């Protein structure tokens, strides 16, 4: 089986445990279920999108993020909320494609992109509702930046931000046009591992102390089941 396109969230799940990834994405016996945390995060994203995108007042319970959003609103440039982006890989070359394109290689959604083409710069903001930025991962920002460089060729520098609105922390990163595809080189090894897993049908386990308590891949030998894979 050929590996499908990836998003960074799905790739992160593969990195955590290929067997868990398989349960969700290949065998698909684990249904998607929202948690209190995911529902809260979705509602915060929607509130931010409507506030910046159409000027809709924030619900009172989300007023604590108003200062951040006002600062973002004051940045010069065209603002795009929930911007869908896709990249295809053909003949070793990366190019922009539609979010739903069947031949896409990667796709992702940027919470907020601010583009100032005249100044040759842009901003990418990813809202986070986690309680801490301790384990912040900027790889998603780098992938989004690669797509923004393709979509807006006049942009030569991008400032990325993981905005942890609950813990009031900001994790910053900066990307340049000449190194726009470096993220794919950095992910090359794990992407190859994923391709091999699909080709062979073997999604190895990565057991840890949380398997039985938190993982829904119940057919895994480390979570009470056994289906022939070690």
Tell me the DSSP string of 205-223. Answer: ----TTHHHH---TTSGGG
Query: Which tens digits make up the pLDDT trace of 12-44?
Result: 999 999 999 999 999 999 888 888 889 999 999
Neighbours of 29 (CB within 10 A): 12
Quick one: pLDDT band at residue 229, thresholds 50, 70, 90?
very low
Quick one: pLDDT band at residue 213, thresholds 50, 70, 90?
confident
Is residue 229 a part of any domain in this protein? no
pLDDT at 1 over 50: yes
User: What is the pTM (predicted TM-score) of this model?
Assistant: 0.92
Instruction: Give residue 225's pLDDT.
Output: 58
Query: Which tens digits make up the pLDDT trace of 63-83?
Result: 999 999 999 999 999 999 999
pLDDT at 151 over 80: yes
**Adjacent-strand bridge partners of 24:** none
Query: Rounded to an integer, what distance in angstroms lies between the CA atom of residue 160 and that of residue 113?
Result: 9
Is residue 136 a part of any domain in this protein? yes
Is residue 227 a part of any domain in this protein? no
Find the range with the poorest average confidence among 85-99, 104-118, 201-215: 201-215
Phi–psi pair at 6, nearest 5 degrees:
-125, 155
Q: What's the domain count of the chain?
A: 1
Is residue 143 a part of any domain in this protein? yes
Query: Domain span at residue 60?
Result: 36-206
Is residue 139 a part of any domain in this protein? yes
Is residue 152 a part of any domain in this protein? yes
Instruction: Give residue 215's pLDDT.
Output: 86
pLDDT at 149 over 50: yes
Instruction: Give residue 230's pLDDT.
Output: 41
Q: Write the burial class of residue 193 (CB in 10 Å: 0-12 exposed, 13-18 middle, 19+ buried).
A: middle
Is residue 24 a part of any domain in this protein? no
Is residue 57 a part of any domain in this protein? yes
Neighbours of 221 (CB within 10 A): 15
pLDDT at 193 over 70: yes
Query: Rounded to an integer, what distance in angstroms lies between the CA atom of residue 146 and that of residue 110?
Result: 12
């Amino acid at each position: 089986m050929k590996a499908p396109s990836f998003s960074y969230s799905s790739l992160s799940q593969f990195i955590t445990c290929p067997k868990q990834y398989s349960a969700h994405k290949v065998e698909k016996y684990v249904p998607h279920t929202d948690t209190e945390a995911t529902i809260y995060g979705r509602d915060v994203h929607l509130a931010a999108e409507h506030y910046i995108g159409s000027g809709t007042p924030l619900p009172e319970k989300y007023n604590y993020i108003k200062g951040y959003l006002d600062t973002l609103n004051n940045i010069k440039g065209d603002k795009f909320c929930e911007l869908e982006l896709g990249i295809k890989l053909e003949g070793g070359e990366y190019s922009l494609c539609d979010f739903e394109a069947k031949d896409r290689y990667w796709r992702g959604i940027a919470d907020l992109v601010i583009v100032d083409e005249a100044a040759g710069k842009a901003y990418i903001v990813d809202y986070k509702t986690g309680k801490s930025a301790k384990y912040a991962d900027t790889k998603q920002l780098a992938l989004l930046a690669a797509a923004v460089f393709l979509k807006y060729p006049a942009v030569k520098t991008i400032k990325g931000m993981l905005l942890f609105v609950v813990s009031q922390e900001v994790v910053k990163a900066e990307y340049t046009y000449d190194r726009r595809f470096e993220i794919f080189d950095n992910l090359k090894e794990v992407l190859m591992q994923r391709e091999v897993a699909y080709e062979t049908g073997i999604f190895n386990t990565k057991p840890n102390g949380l398997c039985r308590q938190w993982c829904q891949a119940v057919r895994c030998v480390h979570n009470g089941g056994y289906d022939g894979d070690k």
